[in-house]
Amino acid sequence: MLYNEKELAALLREVKTIAIVGAVDKPGRPVDRVGRALIDMGFTVIPVHPKRTGVWGLETYTSLKDIPHPVDIVDLFRASEFCADHAREVLELDSLPRCFWMQSGIFNPEARAMLEPKGVMVVEDLCLKVEAERLLPEAR
């Protein structure tokens, strides 16, 4: 399902916590720019990476299942072929996120088919930073 601007703007106004899967704080990487921008916009960002620690100076978790509290958005910086595995991981969480967001260039119909029937909004091929800046001018 494609979401219109009103739906995305409403989501972005309501969410507070964003888990970024594939988080890396290496300057010049898109994930670094997005993570830092979301932090600057006031979102609580939770970095997720299987090997890195202390991304953006924040506690970094090895997987979504390790995060000790619910998150509102799972933002994926992983290749499309890994997204279905992350969707399965989301379905194992005690509390489902409101949104499973795949960054620009990332699509996975299998992930969408798993999550949408469970009430999780699935966004594909959009940059969360770009959409937040565009739809929430007050956050810039």
- Structure tokens of 77? 């910086």
Instruction: Give 100-138 pLDDT, tens digit per residue.
Output: 999 999 999 999 999 999 999 999 999 999 999 999 877
pLDDT at 1: 55
Q: How confident is the model at residue 139 (pLDDT cuts 50, 70, 90)?
A: low
Strands (E), the chain: 17-21, 44-48, 73-76, 99-102, 121-123
Amino acid code (one letter) for 93:
L
Domain 5-139 has CATH 3.30.70.141: no
pLDDT recorded at residue 138: 73
Where do the structural domains in the chain lie, given as residue ranges? 5-139
Rounded to an integer, the average pLDDT of 39-60 is 96
pTM of the model: 0.94
pLDDT of residue 2: 63
